[in-house]
């Protein structure tokens, strides 16, 4: 692992333990060249995934990009970081276990929307506004109406 301070490739592991989400290993490292200390997180990758964009481009799947988009939707919302990490890890696990190496951006967006709908309504609407490319206020109203009707159907009537 490359040292982030001096660039040396010869870092030494001082401590390893499961990360808080249970899906990664947290390693404390020390660089013998500069003495710098840093932490890495290592995850098991079941398969190499690629995203098929709407433009037709095929790009490597980026877990961090997925996590950032979920975190942006959840910004300033009362949702614990552990729940967000479990949501992202669950989505990645489902994608890896799907059997498909190439996954459309629409499929990923739909999965994120479904997950956010169960976690936080505001985050769901925020994400949907980007994912569905809202152009006017009416688009928000239609989505909120759809969300409200689903809450009524589930017995959780929203005022």
Each residue of 104-130: pLDDT tens digit?
998 999 899 889 988 888 898 888 888
In angstroms, the CA 36 to CA 41 distance is: 17
pLDDT in tens, 23-72: 678 899 999 999 999 998 887 666 689 999 989 899 999 989 999 999 99
pLDDT band at residue 158, thresholds of 50, 70 and 90?
very low
Cβ-based neighbour number of residue 44 at 10 Å:
8
What does the block give as tokens for 89? 């890890």
pLDDT higher than threshold 60 for residue 157: no
pTM of the prediction? Answer: 0.63
Please identify which residue in the block is written with the tokens 């709407």: 54
3 state DSSP class of 48: coil
Domain ranges of the chain: 12-43, 50-153
């Amino acid at each position: 692992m490359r040292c982030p301070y001096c660039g040396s490739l010869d870092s030494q592991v001082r401590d390893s333990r499961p990360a808080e989400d249970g899906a990664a290993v947290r390693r404390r490292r020390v660089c013998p060249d500069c003495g710098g200390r840093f932490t890495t997180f290592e995850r098991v990758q079941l398969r190499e995934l690629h995203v098929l964009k709407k433009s037709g481009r095929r790009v490597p799947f980026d877990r961090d990009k997925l996590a950032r988009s979920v975190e942006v939707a959840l910004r300033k919302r009362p949702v614990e970081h552990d729940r967000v990490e479990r949501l992202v890890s669950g989505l990645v696990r489902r994608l890896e276990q799907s059997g498909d190496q190439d996954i459309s951006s629409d499929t990923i967006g739909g999965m994120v929307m479904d997950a956010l709908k169960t976690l936080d309504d505001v985050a769901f609407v925020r994400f949907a506004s980007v994912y569905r490319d809202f152009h006017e206020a009416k688009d928000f109203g239609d989505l909120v109406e759809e969300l409200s009707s689903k809450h009524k159907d589930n017995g959780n009537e929203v005022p």
